[in-house]
Amino acid sequence: MHDYDAFSFDSKAEMLEKSAHYWNPDKTRFWSDSGVDLVIDRREGYLLWDMDGRRLIDVHLNGGTYNLGHRNPEVVTAVKHAMDRFDVGNHHFPSLGRTALAEVLVESAPAGLTKVAYASGGGEAIDIALKSARHAMQKRKIVSIVKAYHGHTGLAVATGDDRFAKLFLADRPEEFPQVPFNDLDAMEQALRGRDVAAVIMETIPATYGFPLPRPGYLEAVKALCEKYDALYIADEVQTGLMRTGELWGITKHGIEPDILVSGKGLSGGIYPIAAVLLSERAGAWLYEDGFGHISTFGGAELGCVAALKTLEITQRPEVRSMVHYIADQVGAGLRQVQAQYPDWFVGIRQNGVVLGLEFAHPEGAKYVMRQLYELGVWAIFSTLDPRVLQYKPGILMTPDLVEELLDRTALAIGRAAADPALSRRRAS
Amino acid sequence: MSDQPQQIVTAPGAAGHVLERARWAARAYASYSASDVDRIVRAVADVAHAHAEKYAEWAVRETGFGVVEHKVRKNQACSRGIVDTYAGQDFTTPRVRIDDKIVEVPRPAGVVLALTPSTNPVATVFFKVILALMTRNAVVVSPHPMAKECCHDAAQLLARAAVEAGAPDGIVQSIAEPTIPLVEALMADVRTNVILATGGTGVVRAAYSSGNPAIGVGPGNVPVLVDATADVRAAAQRLVESKAFDNSVLCTNESVLIAEEAVADQLVREMERAGAAVLGADDAQRLRDYMFPDGRLNVGVVGKDASWIAQQAGIRVGARTKVLVAPFATAVPEEPLTHEKLSPVLGMIRVPDAAAGIATARAIIRIAGAGHSAAIHSTDPGTVMRYAAEVPVLRVSVNVGNSTGSSGLDTNLAPTMTIGTGFVGRSALGENLQPKHLVDWTRIAYNSDPAEAMPAYAGRSPWHDHHTPVPAYPRPSNDERAPRAQAPAHVDALIDRIGARTASGGAGTGDAAFREQVRRLVVEELSHLIKG
């Protein structure tokens, strides 16, 4: 019997059966078929426990949502305390929480971003960003990257991979042209007609396995945007919040974007919230019709409290220093593992604690993911490039946990390298 | 076990992250070489020394305690002075004891939580930071709230100097806004490896109750015996100077003068000549009433000068009076003048002979100051020996002012701002605090059977030099300046090139072994990088 107060299940098997029956049959089956029978139960810091009690180190973090760890005690305390006074709030009116958070976000952001609009999640925030760009530029086209991923809402999904857009007949290639990543000629080609409202870029495309922008690429894209009068939207959902060793990854490139989007980790993993930071130009609609985008839960005041505490923690000088130590240690540890399996573990893409590990097999990351899971580490393959494992240590990881993670990772990579199924397929 | 309980993390929010950052820094610093450490310690000591005056003035201004010129001397002694004292000693290089077949490998404490007092603020910051850096520890300074501004500023200065000299980021930190609950939380936190508690009894007891290793020291209440064999004039001059030093805020300043009757009158005259005012019975009573209302020390006198105190007490003395000497008759606890005064006020009692003097000193220490210090002015080694054996203190300074004597500034004791009071003084430390107290040694011990030889260890060190910032700035891995793995594939290419040049050597069958050996070396090198 698994009793969770509000509900209970007799067994994990019963739970999985109901999950398939009432909730999502394909997703439930997908993980069973993948050899990952995970039902997340207890969670604390960077640790998860499956329903059957197995402990896992979480380096998936649900895309950075748990950047500060699961149930970060400081965020939990702040939100609990806030619940004595606040609730979701009323989006029609000037709001205490939304205003306070907006001020902190603007202060934290690259120069030129002066306004904040709120969403209940990253997809909605991307929609706001795209709508803002279209309004400001009075143009429709949005250029994104092939294999981009910016969420699943109406406009966001159209910027992404076909897989999700076509499923719901939401692909609109004429309005949402895509160009290959790291290809400046293609980018210039797409912008040359001056009919593009904005280019949207993840600073490092997560779901594509964190391929790194070639040095100078993003800077050149920004310059092209200026040349052809398009806005630059920095999707910092996965690269923001100190994950690259600076609060916003885009500042490492010296870029001042016209729009910056944050989500996931901004919530502290406790209360959903996402935010769009807008320049005066991009946020012009906020002067014209403040009711232009309405979102009941967007910027819910409890979420604002969670985000304020998250930003306070994240911006501590001590935390910035810790992230640099973690990145250094993880990078060095992985390079050592790579030196042992150079033909199998063929690449490390790293910027801070944003990492993609490349393996010499089209689905290599799935094998490593399974071995890691067996060895008590949860990391996920890249949906749009399953050669690459997303490997995302949290920014508050302790030295001992980092060491343990590296030990387990080395073993898992070694075991995957020796997987007979894999060598058969590789040979064929 | 997978379900082990979380370790005890008690420091809240940002303060906890100070400890966490210190932990990373300590791990990194523990791999630094002796030459790295020497470079860092010198840089920090130099910058501290260069700012000795600034912080002496600031400390007096902020706390109202002490004398600027004397604090300058302490700040200098606790910066370059400490470095000079331990020059040539290193707490980094493994020590080989060939005859014992033992090799000792240093293992720093880790994160040192350094509590510093209000009376001796910046000198103690300098002292503890430099000790920690000498022994490859990270240090978090938690200053007394009365001295927090000067101490925090000084700690920041040292932190910058350390990092500029190549120390890991976060190796020196300090708490800007210390409060009692916060300090208690820092002390109890599992991320603190050792507490250095200098301060009042309360904070020292709290340190020992925290559950973490602690080096706390008890209060002083220094008796000084002048016997009939002493050079009375020299004793008087040293006494007055020592008692006036930094307005007597050190725990090593003399508290009670015990004078053998035969030389007492001469001693009084010589002390007056040296700048003391020896009070009559009425003035002594006025002083008691002012300094010990309700029998407890009026903290308003702490670190103030003698003429100011006399004026407050309603006593007329010369403007240049350095020390007030207040005679009293019985060494019992209800006599306020037997207690610690932390001001240039010296109690004085006459005794018929040296034996009575020793008994009186025992009585003084029974009241307070066990395990701390005592002084004696005598030329009779028999008396000195009896005094040391019978008075329960751990240092007896002879024919020297005790303030700079027991603290090692004018004796060859280890110069210190932290005086261990030992078991008798409820402390884990019986010596003057010094670098060796902040480092453990892992001992490699070979079979003592002569048939089992210990190979040569001389010159072996597991540490390596550091020349770049630690940690490295997180550059993207496709940035040419980012650190890179030398993959064995590259090693093979390298060996091929070397092989081509040395083909006449005839690699042949040895080639695979050679490659393997080089691979292993590369992996070892990489593991150094990781631990770095």
Q: Which two tokens stand for residue B330?
A: 């019985």
A contacts of B530 (beta carbons < 8 Å): 329, 332-333, 336
Residue B105 has pLDDT above 80, yes or no: yes
- Residue A319 is predicted with a pLDDT of 98
pLDDT given at position A291: 96
pLDDT tens track of chain A, all 428 residues?
899 999 999 999 999 999 999 999 999 999 999 889 999 999 999 999 999 999 999 999 999 999 999 999 999 999 999 999 999 999 999 999 999 999 999 999 999 999 999 999 999 999 999 999 999 999 999 999 999 999 999 999 999 988 899 999 998 999 999 999 999 999 999 999 999 999 999 999 998 899 999 999 999 999 999 999 999 999 999 999 999 999 999 999 999 999 999 999 999 999 999 999 999 999 999 999 999 999 999 999 999 999 999 999 999 999 999 999 999 999 999 999 999 999 999 999 999 999 999 999 999 999 999 999 999 999 999 988 999 999 999 999 999 999 999 999 999 999 999 988 776 555 44
Q: Which helix (H) or strand (E) holds B214?
A: strand B214-216
- Provide residues of B within 8 Å CB-CB of chain A: 2-3, 6, 12-14, 17-18, 20-21, 23-25, 27-28, 169-170, 173, 470-480, 482-489, 522-523, 526-527, 529-530, 532
Mean pLDDT of B458-481: 94
CATH number listed for the domain at residues B222-410: 3.40.309.10
**Please, are residues B24 and A399 in contact by the beta-carbon 8 Å criterion?**
yes
Output the pLDDT for position B218. Answer: 79
What residues contact residue B49 under an 8 Å CB cut-off, 6+ apart? B75, B76, B79, B80
Query: Is A272 in the B-facing interface, judged by CB distances under 8 Å?
Result: no
Instruction: Identify which of A318, A331, A352 has the shortest CB distance to residue B17.
Output: A318
Antiparallel, parallel or unpaired: β A231-235 and A259-262: parallel
Third-level CATH fold of B14-89+99-217+435-440: Aldehyde Dehydrogenase; Chain A, domain 1 (3.40.605)
The tokens for B476 are 């993207």
Pairwise CB contact (< 8 Å): A335 & B23 = no
Q: What is the mean pLDDT of residues B365-369?
A: 95
- The yes-or-no verdict on residue B199 having pLDDT over 60 is yes
How close A312 comes to chain B (CA, Å)? 9
How many interchain CB pairs under 8 A, A with B?
118
Question: From CA A222, how far away is CA B527, in angstroms rounded?
Answer: 40
The alpha-carbon radius of gyration of chain B (Å, integer) is: 28
What pLDDT band is residue B507 in, cutting at 50, 70 and 90?
Answer: very low
Q: Per-residue pLDDT tens for B146-170?
A: 999 999 999 999 999 999 999 999 9
Q: Is the per-residue pLDDT at B521 higher than 90?
A: no
- Here the ipTM equals 0.93
Cβ atoms of residues B190 and B108 within 8 Å: no
Q: pTM value?
A: 0.91
A54 touches chain B (CB under 8 A): yes
On the 0-12 / 13-18 / 19+ scale of CB atoms within 10 A, B492 is: middle
Contact between residue B118 and residue B147 where contact means Cβ atoms under 8 Å apart? yes
Domains of chain A: 34-64+317-427 (3.90.1150.10), 75-314 (3.40.640.10)
Please, are residues B297 and B264 in contact by the beta-carbon 8 Å criterion?
Answer: no
Peptide bond connecting B219 to the previous residue in cis, omega within 30 degrees of 0: no
Residues 182-211 of A with CB under 8 A from B: none
Which of A322, A328, A348 is facing B21, going by the closest CB pair? Answer: A322
Residue extents of the structural domains in chain B: 14-89+99-217+435-440, 222-410, 475-532
Q: List CB contacts (< 8 A) between B474 and chain A.
A: 244-245, 323-324, 327-328, 350-352
Q: Helices (H) and strands (E) in chain A — how many of each? A: 16, 17
Residue B313 in this model has a pLDDT that exceeds 50: yes
pLDDT value, residue B8? 75
Annotated catalytic residue within B78, B150, B151, B251: B251
Question: What is the Cα–Cα distance from A231 to A283, expressed in whole angstroms?
Answer: 12
Residue B208 predicted with pLDDT over 60: yes
Q: Assess whether B78 carries a catalytic annotation.
A: no
Give B368-426 pLDDT, tens digit per residue.
999 999 999 999 999 999 999 999 999 999 999 999 999 999 999 999 989 999 999 99
B47 contacts B157 by C-beta, under 8 angstroms: yes
Nearest to A365 by CA among A353, A355, A375, A356: A356
Helix axes B68-76, B121-134, angle to 10 degrees: 0
Going by pLDDT thresholds of 50, 70 and 90, the confidence category of residue B511 is: low
Provide the pLDDT for residue A211: 95
Q: What is the residue-averaged pLDDT of chain B?
A: 91
